[in-house]
Protein backbone atom coordinates (compact mmCIF):
# COMPACT_ATOMS: atom_id res chain seq x y z
CA UNK A 1 0.00 0.00 0.00
CA UNK A 2 2.79 2.41 0.84
CA UNK A 3 4.66 1.76 -2.39
CA UNK A 4 1.60 2.68 -4.41
CA UNK A 5 1.21 5.73 -2.29
CA UNK A 6 4.84 6.85 -3.03
CA UNK A 7 5.06 5.94 -6.66
CA UNK A 8 1.64 7.08 -7.44
CA UNK A 9 0.98 8.31 -10.94
CA UNK A 10 -2.29 10.08 -11.15
CA UNK A 11 -4.69 8.14 -13.30
CA UNK A 12 -3.05 4.71 -13.11
CA UNK A 13 -5.37 1.76 -13.39
CA UNK A 14 -3.51 -0.86 -11.31
CA UNK A 15 -0.42 -1.41 -9.21
CA UNK A 16 1.31 -3.00 -12.15
CA UNK A 17 1.43 0.37 -13.96
CA UNK A 18 3.49 2.12 -11.26
CA UNK A 19 6.36 4.13 -12.68
CA UNK A 20 9.89 3.02 -11.89
CA UNK A 21 11.66 4.75 -9.01
CA UNK A 22 15.42 4.29 -9.61
CA UNK A 23 18.54 5.97 -8.48
CA UNK A 24 20.06 7.01 -11.68
CA UNK A 25 22.06 9.74 -13.34
CA UNK A 26 20.67 13.22 -13.62
CA UNK A 27 19.24 14.23 -16.89
CA UNK A 28 22.06 14.86 -19.34
CA UNK A 29 24.39 12.54 -17.51
CA UNK A 30 27.10 13.32 -15.05
CA UNK A 31 29.91 15.81 -15.67
CA UNK A 32 33.09 14.24 -17.16
CA UNK A 33 35.71 13.11 -14.55
CA UNK A 34 39.43 13.70 -15.27
CA UNK A 35 41.58 10.68 -14.61
CA UNK A 36 44.56 11.46 -16.84
CA UNK A 37 47.99 12.37 -15.29
CA UNK A 38 48.97 16.02 -15.40
CA UNK A 39 52.51 16.23 -13.92
CA UNK A 40 53.79 19.74 -14.75
CA UNK A 41 57.22 20.00 -16.27
CA UNK A 42 58.26 23.32 -14.69
CA UNK A 43 60.83 24.16 -11.96
CA UNK A 44 64.64 23.91 -12.04
CA UNK A 45 66.27 21.86 -14.71
CA UNK A 46 68.62 18.97 -14.06
CA UNK A 47 71.69 21.10 -14.70
CA UNK A 48 70.45 23.73 -12.26
CA UNK A 49 69.83 21.15 -9.54
CA UNK A 50 73.25 19.60 -10.07
CA UNK A 51 74.99 22.96 -9.95
CA UNK A 52 73.12 23.93 -6.77
CA UNK A 53 74.12 20.65 -5.06
CA UNK A 54 77.72 20.89 -6.21
CA UNK A 55 77.89 24.53 -5.14
CA UNK A 56 76.52 23.76 -1.69
CA UNK A 57 78.97 20.90 -1.26
CA UNK A 58 81.92 23.04 -2.38
CA UNK A 59 81.00 25.85 -0.02
CA UNK A 60 80.64 23.33 2.80
CA UNK A 61 84.07 21.83 2.12
CA UNK A 62 85.55 25.32 2.00
CA UNK A 63 84.14 26.03 5.45
CA UNK A 64 85.55 22.68 6.66
CA UNK A 65 88.97 23.70 5.37
CA UNK A 66 88.75 27.04 7.17
CA UNK A 67 87.84 25.29 10.40
CA UNK A 68 90.70 22.81 9.98
CA UNK A 69 93.13 25.70 9.58
CA UNK A 70 91.93 27.22 12.84
CA UNK A 71 92.15 23.87 14.65
CA UNK A 72 95.63 23.27 13.30
CA UNK A 73 96.72 26.70 14.53
CA UNK A 74 95.44 25.87 18.01
CA UNK A 75 97.30 22.55 18.00
CA UNK A 76 100.46 24.21 16.71
CA UNK A 77 100.33 26.70 19.57
CA UNK A 78 100.12 23.83 22.07
CA UNK A 79 103.01 21.95 20.44
CA UNK A 80 105.17 25.08 20.26
CA UNK A 81 104.60 25.65 23.98
CA UNK A 82 105.62 22.06 24.73
CA UNK A 83 108.75 22.44 22.59
CA UNK A 84 109.68 25.63 24.45
CA UNK A 85 109.52 24.10 27.94
CA UNK A 86 110.96 20.68 27.02
CA UNK A 87 114.64 21.60 27.73
CA UNK A 88 113.72 23.01 31.14
CA UNK A 89 111.90 19.83 32.16
CA UNK A 90 114.66 17.60 30.82
CA UNK A 91 117.36 19.61 32.61
CA UNK A 92 115.50 19.40 35.93
CA UNK A 93 115.05 15.66 35.53
CA UNK A 94 118.75 15.26 34.59
CA UNK A 95 119.84 16.98 37.80
CA UNK A 96 117.58 14.76 39.88
CA UNK A 97 118.74 11.65 38.01
CA UNK A 98 122.44 12.40 38.43
CA UNK A 99 121.96 12.83 42.19
CA UNK A 100 120.11 9.52 42.48
CA UNK A 101 122.58 7.76 40.19
CA UNK A 102 125.52 8.82 42.34
CA UNK A 103 123.79 7.38 45.39
CA UNK A 104 123.10 4.18 43.48
CA UNK A 105 126.73 3.88 42.36
CA UNK A 106 127.94 4.31 45.95
CA UNK A 107 125.57 1.54 47.01
CA UNK A 108 126.84 -0.69 44.22
CA UNK A 109 130.46 -0.02 45.17
CA UNK A 110 129.70 -0.89 48.79
CA UNK A 111 128.02 -4.15 47.83
CA UNK A 112 130.60 -5.27 45.28
CA UNK A 113 133.78 -4.00 46.97
CA UNK A 114 135.11 -7.50 47.58
CA UNK A 115 134.43 -8.80 44.08
CA UNK A 116 137.70 -8.80 42.07
CA UNK A 117 137.63 -7.06 38.70
CA UNK A 118 134.24 -5.40 39.16
CA UNK A 119 133.93 -1.97 37.53
CA UNK A 120 131.31 0.06 39.37
CA UNK A 121 128.75 1.72 37.08
CA UNK A 122 130.02 -0.17 34.06
CA UNK A 123 127.50 -0.23 31.24
CA UNK A 124 125.96 -3.66 30.59
CA UNK A 125 125.68 -2.88 26.87
CA UNK A 126 128.40 -3.08 24.23
CA UNK A 127 127.09 -0.32 21.96
CA UNK A 128 129.08 2.42 23.62
CA UNK A 129 126.09 4.75 23.88
CA UNK A 130 124.63 5.70 27.22
CA UNK A 131 121.38 3.86 27.98
CA UNK A 132 119.02 4.73 30.84
CA UNK A 133 118.91 2.11 33.62
CA UNK A 134 116.48 -0.67 32.79
CA UNK A 135 115.24 -1.44 36.29
CA UNK A 136 111.57 -1.28 35.22
CA UNK A 137 110.97 1.66 37.53
CA UNK A 138 111.81 5.21 36.56
CA UNK A 139 111.20 6.81 39.95
CA UNK A 140 110.58 4.21 42.68
CA UNK A 141 109.27 6.73 45.19
CA UNK A 142 106.64 7.92 42.70
CA UNK A 143 105.57 4.66 41.07
CA UNK B 1 96.10 26.49 43.62
CA UNK B 2 98.66 28.65 45.37
CA UNK B 3 100.37 31.55 43.68
CA UNK B 4 103.02 31.10 41.02
CA UNK B 5 105.75 31.97 43.55
CA UNK B 6 106.38 30.43 46.92
CA UNK B 7 106.80 32.22 50.22
CA UNK B 8 110.28 33.63 49.53
CA UNK B 9 109.38 34.92 46.07
CA UNK B 10 111.07 32.18 44.06
CA UNK B 11 108.99 31.09 41.08
CA UNK B 12 107.55 27.57 41.20
CA UNK B 13 107.87 26.02 37.72
CA UNK B 14 104.59 24.07 37.61
CA UNK B 15 103.13 22.98 34.30
CA UNK B 16 100.57 25.78 34.32
CA UNK B 17 103.23 28.43 34.96
CA UNK B 18 105.57 27.02 32.32
CA UNK B 19 102.87 26.70 29.67
CA UNK B 20 101.70 30.26 30.38
CA UNK B 21 105.22 31.64 29.98
CA UNK B 22 106.11 29.32 27.10
CA UNK B 23 106.15 32.06 24.46
CA UNK B 24 108.45 34.20 26.61
CA UNK B 25 110.70 31.20 27.26
CA UNK B 26 110.87 30.44 23.55
CA UNK B 27 111.92 34.02 22.90
CA UNK B 28 114.35 34.78 25.68
CA UNK B 29 115.93 31.41 26.53
CA UNK B 30 116.24 30.31 22.92
CA UNK B 31 120.04 30.08 22.87
CA UNK B 32 120.28 28.05 26.06
CA UNK B 33 117.52 25.70 24.91
CA UNK B 34 119.15 25.02 21.55
CA UNK B 35 122.59 24.49 23.11
CA UNK B 36 121.19 22.03 25.62
CA UNK B 37 119.26 20.09 22.97
CA UNK B 38 122.31 19.90 20.73
CA UNK B 39 124.40 18.58 23.64
CA UNK B 40 121.69 16.00 24.38
CA UNK B 41 121.57 14.91 20.74
CA UNK B 42 125.30 14.27 20.70
CA UNK B 43 125.33 12.35 24.00
CA UNK B 44 122.15 11.45 25.89
CA UNK B 45 124.10 10.87 29.10
CA UNK B 46 122.70 13.28 31.71
CA UNK B 47 126.06 13.76 33.39
CA UNK B 48 127.61 15.20 30.25
CA UNK B 49 125.09 18.01 29.78
CA UNK B 50 124.68 19.11 33.36
CA UNK B 51 126.25 22.54 32.87
CA UNK B 52 124.11 23.44 29.87
CA UNK B 53 121.08 22.09 31.72
CA UNK B 54 121.76 24.30 34.70
CA UNK B 55 122.06 27.28 32.34
CA UNK B 56 118.63 26.47 30.96
CA UNK B 57 117.13 26.17 34.43
CA UNK B 58 118.74 29.43 35.54
CA UNK B 59 117.47 31.27 32.46
CA UNK B 60 113.91 29.99 32.84
CA UNK B 61 113.69 30.61 36.59
CA UNK B 62 115.07 34.12 36.27
CA UNK B 63 112.61 34.78 33.45
CA UNK B 64 109.73 33.55 35.59
CA UNK B 65 110.81 35.73 38.48
CA UNK B 66 111.14 38.72 36.17
CA UNK B 67 107.67 38.12 34.72
CA UNK B 68 106.18 37.78 38.15
CA UNK B 69 107.71 41.04 39.29
CA UNK B 70 106.64 42.96 36.18
CA UNK B 71 103.01 41.79 35.97
CA UNK B 72 102.09 40.09 39.20
CA UNK B 73 98.33 40.10 38.78
CA UNK B 74 98.34 38.68 35.26
CA UNK B 75 100.99 36.15 36.22
CA UNK B 76 98.64 34.88 38.92
CA UNK B 77 95.49 34.97 36.77
CA UNK B 78 96.81 33.30 33.60
CA UNK B 79 98.51 30.29 35.24
CA UNK B 80 95.47 30.04 37.50
CA UNK B 81 93.22 29.71 34.46
CA UNK B 82 95.62 27.22 32.84
CA UNK B 83 95.71 25.18 36.04
CA UNK B 84 91.93 25.09 36.13
CA UNK B 85 91.65 24.15 32.46
CA UNK B 86 94.61 21.68 32.39
CA UNK B 87 96.81 23.77 30.13
CA UNK B 88 94.32 24.24 27.29
CA UNK B 89 95.15 27.45 25.50
CA UNK B 90 91.79 27.72 23.79
CA UNK B 91 89.97 28.02 27.13
CA UNK B 92 92.10 30.88 28.46
CA UNK B 93 92.10 33.40 25.62
CA UNK B 94 90.93 36.26 27.82
CA UNK B 95 93.66 35.85 30.42
CA UNK B 96 96.23 35.27 27.69
CA UNK B 97 95.35 38.54 26.00
CA UNK B 98 95.61 40.49 29.25
CA UNK B 99 98.91 38.78 30.07
CA UNK B 100 100.40 39.60 26.66
CA UNK B 101 99.21 43.19 26.97
CA UNK B 102 100.85 43.59 30.39
CA UNK B 103 104.08 41.70 29.62
CA UNK B 104 104.60 41.85 25.86
CA UNK B 105 106.94 39.50 23.98
CA UNK B 106 109.73 41.73 22.83
pLDDT range class, residue B2, cuts 50, 70, 90: low
Domain presence at residue B44? yes
| Residue in B closest to A77 by C-alpha | B89
- Interval A4-36: pLDDT, tens: 788 888 888 887 888 888 888 898 999 999 999
Is residue B84 in some structural domain?
Answer: yes
Q: Is residue B5, in this structure, part of any structural domain at all?
A: no
B2 is a domain residue: no
Can you give the pTM of this predicted structure?
0.76
- Write the pLDDT tens digit of every residue in B59-84: 999 999 999 889 889 988 999 999 99
| Number of independent structural domains in chain B | 1
Distance from CA of B97 to the nearest CA of A (A): 14
The residues pairing with B5 across neighbouring beta strands, listed in sequence order, are B11
Measure CA B51 to chain center: 20
The residues facing B6 across adjacent strands are none
Is there a domain that residue B93 lies in?
yes
- Structural domain includes residue B6: no
B66 within some domain: yes
- Note the ipTM here: 0.91
Q: How far is CA B57 from CA A57, A135, A139, B34, in A?
A: 53, 28, 21, 13
Residue B92 lies in a domain: yes
**B13-61: pLDDT as tens digits:** 999 999 999 999 999 999 999 999 999 999 999 999 999 999 999 999 9
Q: Which residues contact B78 (CB under 8 A, 6 or more apart)?
A: B20, B92, B95, B96, B98, B99
Residues in chain B whose beta carbon is closer than 8 A to a beta carbon of chain A?
13, 18-19, 22-23, 25-26, 29, 32-33, 36-37, 40, 43-47, 49-50, 52-54, 56-57, 60, 88-90
**Count of beta carbons in the 10 Å neighbourhood of residue B29:** 24
Q: A91 and B45: CB-CB below 8 Å?
A: no
Mean per-residue pLDDT of chain B: 90
Amino acid sequence: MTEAFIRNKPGMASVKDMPLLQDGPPPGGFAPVRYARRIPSKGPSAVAIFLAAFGTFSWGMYEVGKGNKIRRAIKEEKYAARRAILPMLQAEEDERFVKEWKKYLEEEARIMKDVPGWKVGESVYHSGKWMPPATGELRPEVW
Amino acid sequence: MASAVDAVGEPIPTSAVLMSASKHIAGRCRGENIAFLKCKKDDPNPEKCLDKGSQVIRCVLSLLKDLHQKCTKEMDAYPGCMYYNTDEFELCFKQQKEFEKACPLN
